[in-house]
Each structure stands twice: as structure tokens, then as C-alpha cells.
Chains A and B, each alone.
Chain A
């Protein structure tokens, strides 16, 4: 059974629209993250959450908004989509908080903005 679920697997959107990327983890982890992978920047940290609290935000744009409705959920809302937002978005989680913790990645959502 998949331990980290990301929905949808593929997403096509038009410029200017809004989408929500879903992430649920069933590993019992307290920390969750979002990363983005594109041709320009292979793996780029976006956000980290611990116990549903935002710990770090490295995105330059407020168009990206994480949403944590439950401890094991961390969705990503993207508004006013641009073609440059096209990328694969990975959700990740880790057990203990701290720099040494292994992060487990979900299968990703591949977003294409036309």
C-alpha cells in the first residue's frame, strides 16, 4: 500500500487558473514538506511543516499556499498559474524533526500549465 498519496498524478491547467495538489501520508510522521522538480531546478525545497505549523517557506511567490487540515495532510494551493509553474511537485514527510531525519517522498504530481 502506498504510504504517501499524491493526487492527481497528472494535472493540466490553463494560465491564470487555480489548482490544489493533494498530499496524504500514512507513515505517522509529524513533519511534511513540498518540493518542486523542473528542468531549470532539479529538486527545490518549497515548504516545511511540523505538527501542522509552517516552519519554513522558501517560495518567492504568495501564489503558493500550503494547507494543512489534518496532521497527515499537506495540500498545496497554487493560484494565478503560469507556464513557469510547470513541474513535478513532490510531497515528502519525515519522522523526527531534525536535520538527520530521512525524508520519504511521494510519487509526485506532474503539473503542466498551458
Chain B
């Protein structure tokens, strides 16, 4: 079955530093990859999505590139802000399924002043 792996459970950074949150996936189908962000006591919201190999997608200063050769979709930002502190989920879907999103375990990003 499908699976998503996020290797970091917790990332703590100082404001202004770059960040990369890792995401790798496994599926036998053509994938759609998503990053969702969940702030404390809020619902998850879509941050980025992609299904195009080797094309960078950006939103709100975050960016990610889907690499099908390595089954990866890492999330990056060049300069984190205090407001970026949240739980980040990588998720996987594909057109042959029934709308199901398979989520990774999530990475808690904490940005300190």
C-alpha cells in the first residue's frame, strides 16, 4: 500500500534560518504530493501540492520539488519566521484511489526568536 515517511518529528530553529523538512513516499501509482500545515488547535490547511516531476512549486515563501526518481517531496524555506511554528504533514494521493490522502507522521517546526 501507499506510505509516506517524514524523518524528523521535531525541528527547532532560530528565526531567519533556512529549513528543510524531509518527505519520501512509496506508491505503485502516479503520485500527487501535498504539504499541509496545522497550527495549534486549528484544522490542517494545504500549503503546497504537486504532481509534476522536477518542477518547483511555491507558496507563502515555502517551496518543494517533486522528484519521482528518489520518491521525495521535501519542504523548504529560506528564512523561517515565528509564525511558521506549526505541525507540517506530507501527504500522498493518486488518481486511481478514492480520494484518500495518506499522511506522514508529521514534523513539528518550532521557530525561536
Most A Cβ at <10 Å: residue of B49, B89, B97, B100: B100
A56 near B100 with CB under 8 A, answer yes
Interface size on B, residues (CB 8 A): 27
Q: Contact flags (1/0) for A95-114 with B, using CB distance below 8 Å?
A: 00111111111111000000
Q: Which residue of A lies closest to B44 (CB)?
A: A105
Write the nearest CB–CB distance from B100 to chain A, whole angstroms: 5
Q: Contact flags (1/0) for A1-16 with B, using CB distance below 8 Å?
A: 0001000000000000
B49 near A100 with CB under 8 A, answer yes
In the complex, chain B residues 82-113 whose Cβ is within 8 Å of any chain A Cβ: 87, 89, 91, 93-106
Number of A-B contacts (CB under 8 A): 70
> Is B11 part of the binding interface, using a Cβ–Cβ cutoff of 8 Å?
no
Q: Which residue of B lies closest to A101 (CB)?
A: B99
> Is B71 part of the binding interface, using a Cβ–Cβ cutoff of 8 Å?
no
Q: Contact flags (1/0) for B57-82 with A, using CB distance below 8 Å?
A: 00000000000000000000000000
A42 near B94 with CB under 8 A, answer no
Write the nearest CB–CB distance from B103 to chain A, whole angstroms: 4
Q: 6 closest A-B pairs (Cβ-Cβ)?
A: A56-B98, A105-B43, A55-B98, A43-B103, A99-B93, A48-B99
